[in-house]
Amino acid sequence: RLLYLLQQETSSTELRTECAVVLGSLAMGTENNVKSLLDCHIIPALLQGLLSPDLKFIEACLRCLRTIFISPVTPEDLLYTDATVISHLMALLSRSRYTQEYICQIFSHCCKGPDHQTILFNHGAVQNIAHLLVSTSYKVRMQALKCFSVLAFENPQVSMTLVNVSVDGELLPQIFVKMLQRDKPIEMQLTSAKCLTSMCRAGAIRTDDSCIVLKTLPCLVRMCSKERLLEERVEGAETLAYLIETDVELQRIASITDHLIVMLADYFKYPSSVSAITDIKRLDHDLKHAHELRQAAFKLYASLGANDEDIRKKIIETENMMDRIVNGLSESSIKVRLAAVRCLHSLSRSVQQLRTSFQDHAVWKPLMKVLQNAPNEILIVASSTLCNLLLEFSPSKEPILESGAIELLCSLTQSENLALRVNGIWALMNMAFQAEQKIKSDILRGLSTEQLFQLLSDSDVNVLMKTLGLLRNLLSTRPHIDHIMSTHGKQIMQAVTLILEGEHNIEVKEQTLCILANIADGTTAKELIMTNDDILQKIKYYMSHSNAKLQLAAMFCISNLIWNEEEGSQERQDKLRDMGIVDILHKLSQSSDPNLCDK
């Protein structure tokens, strides 16, 4: 009935305005209220109302739209179904401080992802909203700022534009920096820090710019302190993790600002001990935010420890840190699990820690558990971590093997997802490095020849390189080379031929020739090369190639075939001499490249 009255042209403007106000009040209720309003098609009715000449009525419609759009049950796309709506809203921005506040709020809630950002950007959002940052109304300034924080997030196009926009002779980054100051309300400080962070990550502001190092970073660290509300601490830590994620210098600065590493340990202490909480509402609030806090702390620790060995050491020495990560790996919340795995991955880049803390806490056990039936985003980070735990110097290598890792990794190499294929084969490559023969045979059995060929013909060069790396590691030390070539020789020689004939880059061909050189080092395996004229011709061809790396690799093959003290060397030398290899060697000994010359 209210909607009917709202849409009647014959109703007086006062009546229609009151209807919009009452509908807005209803929308303030439960999510079910909003659902039933949406089912009655309230949004088209209110958007139609924006075409009225009456400002009070327009404001009432916008206020109601704002309330509906900020509800989590409202699909954002409803704002974009009619292309004329956005341009009409842009035009209404100049009407009053209320239209400014509500429209900015609608935009910032309905801007989800790059498509929405592009639509708003192309409708002139930056130019239309920029001057609102200096409005006399705090609410308008705040909503405009929020708009920029969602428009610029992970969006280089918007970020690059913002850097050069000025309002009243002042550039936007300078305006954002003013809004970061300690005397400003916390939500304003946090939101402007988010704007500057997005601009920095997009490359619009340098990471060593003073507005990042001296203003944004310290402001975000302040947001992590105990004085702040739990929500603010979550947002502060997540934004800071994003800001420093890829920059070593910022990681170092953050790690020594306000004892941040110790301050984050406090994120794990919620909900506080039950006796201290008399207030049931407070307990509910703490519980709700407890997993968000843990997730944020793990994320920030992961960014802090991404590159620097000393920082990793400090993180691991923080009270009960390894236990916290191990617990995080088995939490029910998928977001916390993902953040804990990220943190573990970051710390697993440290040789020192792999040998000590990781060993003491048997981190591999929960990690192997995480790898069972996890969604892809967790699998990718967890399998990367496993790659590190399988490095030669890591004591976790043995127990991981015993817990069925080979099977698991072989199945990853068959994944549709590229990152998982790379990690699966990479981990197998690490596992095969200087491994005993049984492990190597298990890997070959687990992979199957078909799968090996599949990987060698993968369209991604990373997968190909790691697979060649695996082959090279499998074919090392003589008894292993002879053993593997006696069981898989025919297929491996086929694979080598395939790659040397294919259109591949220098690195791939070099790696393949190195595999051949390893085969040539075997005692019985040599014969597979010597009896294969096609391969011998290829080695000869690469000795005269224009690229020195390939020439060197080809010469390794030759030198491994001709050692005098080995049985049958005379026959091999004669055959190679007949092929004209000696002539090529004479020519190469005149080379201007000292490496080639020596070899």
Please give the pLDDT value at position 363: 83
Q: Is 184 left (phi over 0), alpha (psi -120 to 50) or beta?
A: beta
Reported in sequence order, the residue ranges of 353-509 that DSSP labels E, i.e. its strands, are: none
Please give the pLDDT value at position 276: 55
Please give the pLDDT value at position 58: 97
Give the residue-averaged pLDDT of 37-47.
Answer: 95
Q: List, as one string, the DSSP characters of 247-272.
A: -HHHHHHHHTSTTHHHHHHGGG--SP
Asked whether the predicted pLDDT for residue 325 surpasses 60, the reply is yes
Which pTM value belongs to this model? 0.84
Which residue ranges form the domains of the chain, and what is each CATH number?
Answer: 475-598 (1.25.10.10)
Secondary structure (3-state) at 532: coil
Give the residue-averaged pLDDT of 308-330.
Answer: 91
CA-closest candidate to residue 71, choices 24, 115, 113: 24
Phi, psi of 167 (to 5 degrees): -125, 125
- Cα gap 113→151, rounded to integer Å: 9
Please give the pLDDT value at position 359: 75
- Cα gap 425→464, rounded to integer Å: 9
- Cα gap 377→399, rounded to integer Å: 25
Q: Which helix (H) or strand (E) holds 56?
A: helix 55-69
Q: How many residues make up the chain in this entry?
A: 599
**350-356 contacts, C-beta under 8 A, 24 or more apart:** 350/305, 350/309, 350/312, 350/313, 351/391, 351/393, 352/309, 352/313, 353/312, 353/313, 353/316, 354/388, 354/389, 354/391, 354/393, 354/394, 354/395, 354/396, 355/393, 355/394, 355/395
- Cα gap 506→111, rounded to integer Å: 46
Q: Is 503 left (phi over 0), alpha (psi -120 to 50) or beta?
A: beta
Q: Is 145 within 8 Å of 187 (Cβ atoms)?
A: no
Phi, psi of 166 (to 5 degrees): -125, 150
Please give the pLDDT value at position 379: 92
- Cα gap 299→46, rounded to integer Å: 42
Q: Exposed, middle or buried: residue 475 (CB in 10 Å: 0-12, 13-18, 19+)?
A: buried
Please give the pLDDT value at position 395: 73
**What does the mean pLDDT of the chain come to?**
91
* pLDDT cut 70: percent of the chain above it: 98
Give the residue-averaged pLDDT of 403-431.
Answer: 92
Could you report the per-residue pLDDT of 469-517, keeping only the tens digit for each? 999 999 988 889 999 999 888 989 998 998 998 889 999 999 999 999 9
Residue type at 47?
A: L
Of 236-250, 268-282, 311-325, 432-446, which range is least confident? 268-282
First to last CA, the chain: 93
- Cα gap 539→516, rounded to integer Å: 9
- R_g of the chain, CA atoms, integer Å: 32
Asked whether the predicted pLDDT for residue 337 surpasses 80, the reply is yes
Confidence of residue 293 (pLDDT cuts 50, 70, 90): very high
Could you report the per-residue pLDDT of 521-577, keeping only the tens digit for each? 998 998 999 999 999 999 999 999 999 999 999 999 999 999 888 888 899 999 999
What does DSSP assign to residue 132? G
Which residues fall within 8 angstroms of residue 540, CB to CB, at 6 or more apart?
Answer: 554, 579, 580, 581, 584
Please give the pLDDT value at position 59: 97
Asked whether the predicted pLDDT for residue 141 surpasses 90, the reply is yes
Give the residue-averaged pLDDT of 222-241.
Answer: 94
Asked whether the predicted pLDDT for residue 279 surpasses 90, the reply is no
Asked whether the predicted pLDDT for residue 51 surpasses 70, the reply is yes
Which residues fall within 8 angstroms of residue 235, CB to CB, at 6 or more apart?
Answer: 190, 194, 223, 296
- Cα gap 402→24, rounded to integer Å: 63
Asked whether the predicted pLDDT for residue 123 surpasses 90, the reply is yes
Secondary structure (3-state) at 492: helix
Please give the pLDDT value at position 367: 87
- Cα gap 270→118, rounded to integer Å: 40
Q: What is the largest CA-CA distance in the chain?
A: 109
Phi, psi of 171 (to 5 degrees): -70, 150
Please give the pLDDT value at position 49: 94
- Cα gap 77→559, rounded to integer Å: 68
Please give the pLDDT value at position 273: 61
CA-closest candidate to residue 273, choices 282, 264, 261, 265: 282
Dihedral sign, Cα of residue 4, residue 5, residue 8, residue 10? positive
Give the residue-averaged pLDDT of 234-259.
Answer: 96
Give the residue-averaged pLDDT of 33-56.
Answer: 95
- Cα gap 473→487, rounded to integer Å: 16
Please give the pLDDT value at position 453: 86
Give the residue-averaged pLDDT of 118-123.
Answer: 96
Please give the pLDDT value at position 272: 67
Of 94-103, 278-287, 436-445, 455-464, which range is least confident? 278-287
What does DSSP assign to residue 123? T
Could you report the per-residue pLDDT of 386-406, keeping only the tens digit for each? 888 887 666 777 788 787 889
Count other Cβ atoms within 10 Å, centred on residue 236.
25
Confidence of residue 146 (pLDDT cuts 50, 70, 90): very high
